[in-house]
Amino acid sequence: MSGKLLDDLGRLQRSVIEVVWELGEASVHDVRDRLGRKKKLAYTTVLTAMQKLEKAGWLRHRTQGKSYVYLPTRSREEAGANSVHKFMERMFDGDALLMFQHLMRQNKLTDKELRELREMIDKKRKETRK
């Protein structure tokens, strides 16, 4: 599978993979119909984008009748995690604590969000003690 980051995809390819993630699987017609609500796209334009995504390892296909149905090869969460990891490497020299410190200083968090973070920290602490 390609190591290409979600951030490296072009606007159309990103839109296509988002639709496939949303639907779980999709034909070119499905994606074109969904994207066509915002901007009219030619069938061949969407087909080319999907073929490029398949070649890059983002999609795979199965045959259904005379059509191809495309499926994602990784979840949105996996792609996002990879992008965050690469971002952390690039911007914070791989230092997760430094990144979190920056985020904590720059963002106003609600009491609910702070409780959720505390729960995540407590859970992680228990996991590392095992």
| CATH number (domain holding residue 54) | 1.10.10.10
Using alpha carbons, list the distances in angstroms from residue 100 to 17, 25, 77, 89, 114: 28, 35, 19, 13, 13
- Report if residue 20 sits inside a domain: yes
Question: Based on the domain organization, do 68 and 99 belong to the same domain?
Answer: no
In-domain check, residue 77: no
Provide the domain count of the chain. 2
**What phi and psi values does residue 63 have, to the nearest 5 degrees?**
-90, 135
Rounded-to-integer distance, Cα 2 and Cα 30, Å: 25
CA distance 53 to 48: 9
Q: Which two tokens stand for residue 99?
A: 């990144």
Instruction: Give me the phi and psi of 10, to 5 degrees please.
Output: -70, 170
pLDDT of residue 3: 52
Greater confidence, 2 or 44? Answer: 44
pLDDT tens digits, 55-112: 999 999 999 999 999 999 999 999 888 888 888 999 999 998 998 888 888 778 889 9
Please report where in the chains the tokens 């296909």 appear, as a residue.
61
Q: Comparing 39 with 114, which gets the higher pLDDT?
A: 114
What is the rounded average pLDDT for all residues in the chain? 90
Query: Do 109 and 59 belong to one domain?
Result: no
pLDDT (0 to 100) of residue 64: 94
| Percentage of residues of the chain with pLDDT beyond 70 | 98
Task: List the domain range (segments joined by +) for residue 110.
Answer: 95-130
Which residue type occupies 40? K
63 close to 25: Cβ distance less than 8 angstroms: no
Is 86 within a domain?
Answer: no
**Residue 2: per-residue pLDDT:** 47
The C-alpha atoms of residue 110 and residue 112 are separated, in whole angstroms, by 5
For the segment 33-39, the average pLDDT, to the nearest whole number, is 86
> pLDDT-based confidence at 4, cuts 50/70/90?
confident
Please report whether residue 62 resides in a domain.
Answer: yes
**Is residue 38 over pLDDT 80?**
no
Q: For residue 50, give both structure tokens.
A: 């999907």
| pTM for the full predicted model | 0.73
Whether 78 maps to a domain, the answer reads: no
